[in-house]
Structures are given as C-alpha cells and as structure tokens.
Amino acid sequence: KTFRPKRKFEPGSQRFELHKRAQASLHSGVDLKAAVQLPSGEDQNDWVAVHVVDFFNRINLIYGTVCEFCTEKTCPVMSGGPRYEYRWQDDRKYKKPTALPAPQYMNLLMDWIEVQINNENIFPTNVGVPFPKNFLQVCKKILCRLFRVFVHVYIHHFDRIILMGAEAHVNTCYKHFYYFVTELNLIDRKELEPL
C-alpha cells in the first residue's frame, strides 16, 4: 500500500519540459544549489508543482524500501528520535493532532498527498488554467510533511538504507530536497532542525 504509481507529466506540456530540465540538471553533475533555482522566465508555481510531484515520487520510493522494517512494533510512534514526535491531522477523520504508529502515519500521509496532487483544482495540468490562491500554502504543507519522512528514515531506518547500498541515492535526494525548500523558503527553518 505504500508504493504508488508515479505521477507523470503530459509529454509536450510545459511542465513536462520543466520536469525534463530539472531531471537533466540533476543527472549532469551540476551543483544542486544551482539546479533548484527558478529558471529565468518560468512561473514559480509551475516549478514548485513539478518538484512537489517529483519529491513525492522519490520519497515514497525511499520509504517503500524500508517500510517492511517500519512496523507498529518497531515504530509505535511517528518520530524522529526522542526529541521529535509527529502527529497526524487531516481535518476530516483526525481533527486534532493525533499520535499514530509510523506506518499508519506514512499511509495516511501518502494517501493525503496523492489526493492533493491529483486534484485538478490544486494542481491543474492544463496550460492556461491558473493555480489556486492557496497553492503555495498547500505545497508548503506537503513538503513539510515529506520532510518528516526523511527525518524518520534517517533516524530510525538508515541502517537498512546502508545495507541496501542506497545511502548515496537517499543523501542526494535529501540534498536536492533541502536546497529546493530553502531556496524558495518553503519550509520553516525550525521544522528543518531534526536533520
């Protein structure tokens, strides 16, 4: 249930071209700090949309590699070590922040993000359809919650990442994520403290 099909961009669309540009810069050995900067003449919302979807796909895959070791027994609380506990709130079933086991939190999180990025009213896919006024706020919330996945994986499951030989990939993904959210000021610095 944790693995989800990747969200793709329509070939030939402006976002598909932005996605290709972002991917090409990542695989060319380019400085990640430079790769996250908004390309000249491009719309910031398009740039953020492309990255949010890409980070969702990548981070979901990273968690998927360790999810069999992240159980209610091994991770009874969604946390990032003893100092950071993350509670789930979705304003529907969980109206108040609620402590949950990490796997349950992760499933709710990935389901919630998937609903957001597949909602045409929030992430329009047609050229010329404007983004909603609250688009950046929604993206900030998604990115903040995705950051918590990194925190949990790094603090509780990094030994598994090392055993799989995937630490370079996870570290590169995290660096890309970190540079992107700090470049565009999308996550409060206090939220970033655990890592």
Annotated binding site for Zn(2+): 70, 75, 152, 157
The DSSP code sequence of 35-54 is HTSPPTT--HHHHHHHHHHH
Query: CA 128, CA 167: separation in Å to the nearest integer?
Result: 40
Contacts of 97 (CB under 8 A, 6+ apart): 87, 88, 89
Which residues on adjacent β-strands are paired with residue 99?
87
Binding site membership: which residues? Answer: 70, 75, 152, 157
- CB atoms inside a 10 Å sphere around CB 180: 24
Q: Which helix (H) or strand (E) holds 88?
A: strand 87-88
For residue 83, give the amino acid letter. Answer: R
CA angle (73, 79, 83) in 5-degree steps:
125
